[in-house]
Structure 1
Amino acid sequence: MLGLEYFSFVDLWSPLFLAVMLLLVAGYFVLIGPLAGWFPGSTSVPLWRRGLFVCGMIFLYLAQGGPLSLLGHLMFSFHMVSMALSYLVAVPLIMLGIPDFIWRAALRVNPLQRLSFLARPIVAALLFNGLFSLYHIPVVHDYVMLHFTIHRSYYAVLFLTSALMWWTLINPLPEHRMVDGLGKIGFIFLNMVLLTPACGLIIFADHPLYATYSDPDTWAQAMGYCVAGNPTALLQAFGGPTFFGIMSPKVDQQVGGIAMKFIQEFIFASMLAYVFYHWYKKENGQEDAEASMPSSELEGGRLTRV
């Protein structure tokens, strides 16, 4: 299906990466289980939080090591879905799965305290969206895809900056919370706007932008980093990326831009509704509490007896 039958089990499932992910999941359960007593204020981690962490790791594995990762080298649309799952779905799920006592212990580490300015809402939003947009400038994207070490390093930086961006929205620690209520709503709108130019460039381009998905030689060289075998053999066997394409390179590119923007809009719109609901509920709850109190009990600049 979609050409995956031409590749080996190792190419499709990246066993080494899978082993690393399984070790990280095992380490998580050891930290929240037998070693939880090492953390001050540790409590039992509920099943739903454990489930979120595992789901986040599954999404990250599928996007960066499973068949979706390979498809992302064959078609640009799958590449964008992989990016969305990695940084807009997997990251917040993993972060929500980490209990408060581990966050507090991590934030006490001195180097992290010195870098805390990177988590400031505007800085974090500009960092993630700026690096994501920079990556999808055609000359940058093709260069990164053709240099394995830079490719992996760039993806790691995107993961970290995505976590900084999400920290503003899902930070569970009141003492480290920088914005709340309307501030979060504004932050969500900021992120929705910042990613729009990059998606617009991709969607409305009148020709294929990325040599990785349109030029056979560039494609074969990039594929050499994610599958076993000689790039020359890939060219002889398939002729180029169009062998696997169910759409033309231009349409595939447009579908990728639309998919990325749709997933981002859906996730942030859902987050916006959640934040607005709780902000509205909090504001009305406070007003109702004040309205229900006898006027004789409300003095000192709040309400007085009339």
Structure 2
Amino acid sequence: MLGLEYFTFTQVWSPIVLALVLLITAGYFVLIGPLSEKYGQGEKVSLNRRLLFLLGLALLYMAQGGPVELLGHIMFSFHMISMALSYLLAPPLLMLGIPVWVWRGIVSLLRRSPLRTLKFFTHPVVAAIVFNGLFSFYHIPVIHDYVMLHFGVHRLYYVVLFIASVLMWWTLVDPLPDMAAGKGVKKIGFIFLNMVLLTPACGLIIFATDPLYATYSDPVVWSKAMGYCIPGDTTMLLSQFGGPQFFGYLEPVVDQQVGGILMKFIQEIIFASMLAYVFFHWYRQENRSEDDEEIVPVPEEYAPSSELKQI
């Protein structure tokens, strides 16, 4: 399907990444199980939190070590799906799956470390600009092709982008309610800011009339970039397939446009859902506050006497 049948199980499912994911999963259950008695005062983690964490980890694996990762080196549209899963869907799910007492420990540790000097990047507006800026910068054609061909830079850039996405999501997810960076109108404005910041990059990709990325249009560059997913000599891919067009159902320009549309569409759905959720809770909280203000306590001197109460 989609050309995956031409690759081995190891190439499609990346056992090393799978082993790492299983190790993280085991560590998570040890943390919320035996270690919770020591560090979390025995606080129980709900089934919902566990499922959210596992779902986020599964999506991250599919995007960075599973079939979506491999297809993302063949078709630009799948590359954008991989980016959406990695930075728009997986981070909030993972963050919601981690219990509050763990986040308190992480924040306390960071405050005592040299990283506390980077607190500036946790400001909501700064976090939004940094994440969307890194994402847009990465999709400048020259930068993108360079990163795809230099695997050390590739891994480092993806790690930095993931950290930036966590900082961006922090304001919206509020993993520590007592440290919430924004509520109500502020949070709504923050959502709109993120929706706007990613638009220029997606617009340039969607309305481009020529292939922008050599990774998906030049067979030689593509074969080199495939080395990230396939170990060994990848030049044999040229004699075997000729180039990425062998697998694609779309022309490079159309595939590129579909990728830009998918990224913007997925982002709009996610943030529109968050907008509706935040607005609903903000509206309900405001109405509750107004109702509480209308209930004025009766002064004691005007309160009915005990004799009247008995009548």
State the TM-score, normalized to the length of structure 1.
Answer: 0.94
The CA deviation string for residues 114-169 of structure 1, in whole angstroms up to 9 with x for no partner, is: 33221110110011000000000000000000000000110000100000000011
Pair 264,27 (structure 1): closer, same or farther in 2 beyond 3 Å: same
Do the aligned partners of 2:77 and 2:258 also contact (CA within 8 Å) in 1? Answer: yes
Do the aligned partners of 2:206 and 2:258 also contact (CA within 8 Å) in 1? Answer: yes
Q: Secondary structure at the match of 1:73?
A: coil
- Matched pairs, number: 297
Q: What is the aligned partner in structure 1 of residue 25 from structure 2? A: 25
Q: What is the aligned partner in structure 2 of residue 302 from structure 1? A: none
Q: What is the aligned partner in structure 1 of residue 304 from structure 2? A: none
Cα offset for 1:41? 4.7
User: Could you tell me how far apart the structure 2 residues matched to 1:247 and 1:226 are?
Assistant: 22
Do the aligned partners of 2:95 and 2:175 also contact (CA within 8 Å) in 1? Answer: no
Identical positions, percent: 65
Do the aligned partners of 2:52 and 2:97 also contact (CA within 8 Å) in 1? Answer: yes
Do the aligned partners of 1:124 and 1:164 also contact (CA within 8 Å) in 2? Answer: yes
Do the aligned partners of 1:25 and 1:54 also contact (CA within 8 Å) in 2? Answer: yes
Give 2:174's aligned amino acid.
Answer: N
User: Could you tell me how far apart the structure 2 residues matched to 1:279 and 1:296 are?
Assistant: 32
The CA deviation string for residues 188-240 of structure 1, in whole angstroms up to 9 with x for no partner, is: 00000000000001000010100000001000000122113422201000101
User: Could you tell me how far apart the structure 2 residues matched to 1:199 and 1:285 are?
Assistant: 40
Alignment partner for residue 210 of structure 2, among 207, 211, 235? 207
Do the aligned partners of 1:142 and 1:212 also contact (CA within 8 Å) in 2? Answer: yes
Pair 3,40 (structure 1): closer, same or farther in 2 beyond 3 Å: closer
Alignment partner for residue 252 of structure 2, among 246, 249, 252? 249
User: Could you tell me how far apart the structure 1 residues matched to 2:54 and 2:139 are?
Assistant: 29
Listed as ranges, the matches of 1:87-166 within 5 Å are 87-109=87-109, 110-111=112-113, 112-166=115-169
The runs of 5 or more residues in structure 1 that have no matched partner are: 298-306
The runs of 5 or more residues in structure 2 that have no matched partner are: 301-311
User: Could you tell me how far apart the structure 2 residues matched to 1:41 and 1:117 are?
Assistant: 32
Q: Greater shift after overlay, 47-56 or 287-296?
A: 287-296
Q: Secondary structure at the match of 1:115?
A: helix
Q: Secondary structure at the match of 2:72?
A: helix
